[in-house]
Amino acid sequence: MIQFKLRHFIIVTILVGFYSVDVNSQSENNGWISLFNGKNLDGWKQINGNAEYKVENGEIIGKTTVNTPNSFLCTTKNYSDFILEFEVMVSPEINSGVQFRSNSSPDYRKGVVHGYQFEIDPSSRGFSGGIYDEQRRGWLYPLSINKKGTKAFQNGVWNICRIEAIGNSIRTWVNGVECANLVDDITSSGFIALQVHSIGEDKNLANKEIKWKNIRIKTTNLESERKASDPEVVEVSYLVNQITPNEMRKGWRLLWDGKTTSGWRSARANSFPKSGWEIKDGELTILATNGGEATGPGDIVTEDLFSSFELELEFKITEGANSGIKYFVDADLNKGPGSAIGCEFQILDDDKHPDAKAGVNGNRTIGSLYDLIPAEGLSSSNRPKQFKGIGTWNKARIIVRGGHVEHWLNNEKVVEYDRFSQMFRSLVANSKYKTWPGFGQWASGSILLQDHGNTVHYRSIKIREFN
């Protein structure tokens, strides 16, 4: 009898112990699913390139290989809304990335992997956690706009990374530091992929390793797991002609509604031009005429005046095109030929339009303060200015706080100046604007979109004012 009770006690204890472990495991998982079993590459497939992927010590190891394009180890399943966590360690000589909501199909550039990429960048640039749009739009969220994020990734150790992709909101973290806060709706679903970047023919970069482990994903009850966003991390939105709830809270409003001429007029009249400016498919387009400055339908300006503000818009130029965004515009100043007078964010095809070689030291190239200050890469990474190309949407931003002015091109600062400084006054005195007293120093002015006789498209024009 004692022996039976002892045996019964042992069996019950084992069952209870087993049950307890199982319950705790389910509680700890809380809906998380491992994407990597630690033993082999079941559930993954390799496409595009021929770099080596293998499993050792519970890690996926990718090795760089010469003479092969970018290689991707992709999940065999697609994911839409999710939270993804993983750990990564990379050789400091190379970069890598983790694709998400990415795809490969024969009808898009013969199956090249394209979509969002969580950047893994061990260089001094420090863009790890930034968001790059592989084989499409390039950088969407470079960490030039989040200097705190550039310090998060550490070389020589495992880095804990997190991606929250929920609806049109995409946020990233590296070692607990928020790096990117993106709003974009171009792709809602796709696979996850581990990238081994191409090294071309450089044998010195061959056999460098990227290691991943503890890759897990959660696709249900996501709101309960979302991390609080750092208010210092700027939200960047690519929603077309829309204001996000966060932007609305911060005072942003659309300066063009995407449908009508409301709020805009001709720089030379009280009404909007009857022809030459087209509104179609959410785009505001100046149509080509003879390539002259305001010789066609003419410039358009806002009916409101602005002093301290942040202006953002997207523009798309055609080959050889010239246009500009002007601010502190006094539309009544110039009654003769040419454009209305104001400070100008230059929009130009630098390769094909002759104006790029005019002026002084490139001060008429894209992003420049026209005829005064050339656009240059001013980010901490010292990268050249980022232009996404002809026929592609580019983002322009102009920030004015009192006398301090900045131009940003595709989220990279390219111009910075004080419009009340002696340096600015000296530049004006040696420019085409020297005949206009107080140029660029007026208390307020209109925003202007320029007619320079070439086809240029605008959209998502929005502004917020500062006190």
Q: Is 467 exposed, middle or buried (0-12, 13-18, 19+ CB in 10 A)?
A: exposed
- Side chain identity at 149, as an amino acid letter? G
Question: By the 8 A CB rule, do 237 and 247 touch?
Answer: yes
HSE at residue 234, side-chain half, CA atoms within 13 A, is 13
Q: pLDDT confidence of 13, banded at 50, 70, 90?
A: very low
- Residue-wise pLDDT for 171-183, tens only, equals 999 999 999 999 9
Please tell me the predicted confidence (pLDDT) of residue 21: 33
- Residue-wise pLDDT for 362-394, tens only, equals 999 999 999 999 998 655 455 678 999 999 999
Please tell me the predicted confidence (pLDDT) of residue 3: 45
Question: By the 8 A CB rule, do 397 and 311 touch?
Answer: yes
Q: Could you say which DSSP state residue 121 is in? A: -
> How far apart (Å, rounded) are the C-alpha atoms in residues 444 and 441?
8
Q: Is the pLDDT of residue 150 over 80?
A: yes
Question: By the 8 A CB rule, do 318 and 391 touch?
Answer: yes
Please tell me the predicted confidence (pLDDT) of residue 296: 87
User: How open is the CA angle 120-153-91, to the nearest 5 degrees?
Assistant: 55
Assigned token pair, 363: 């001060």
| Pairs from 160-163 (Cβ < 8 Å, separation ≥ 24) | 160/85, 160/87, 161/85, 161/86, 161/87, 161/88, 161/98, 161/118, 161/129, 162/83, 162/84, 162/85, 162/227, 163/82, 163/83, 163/84, 163/85, 163/98, 163/100, 163/118
Residue count of the chain, please give it: 467
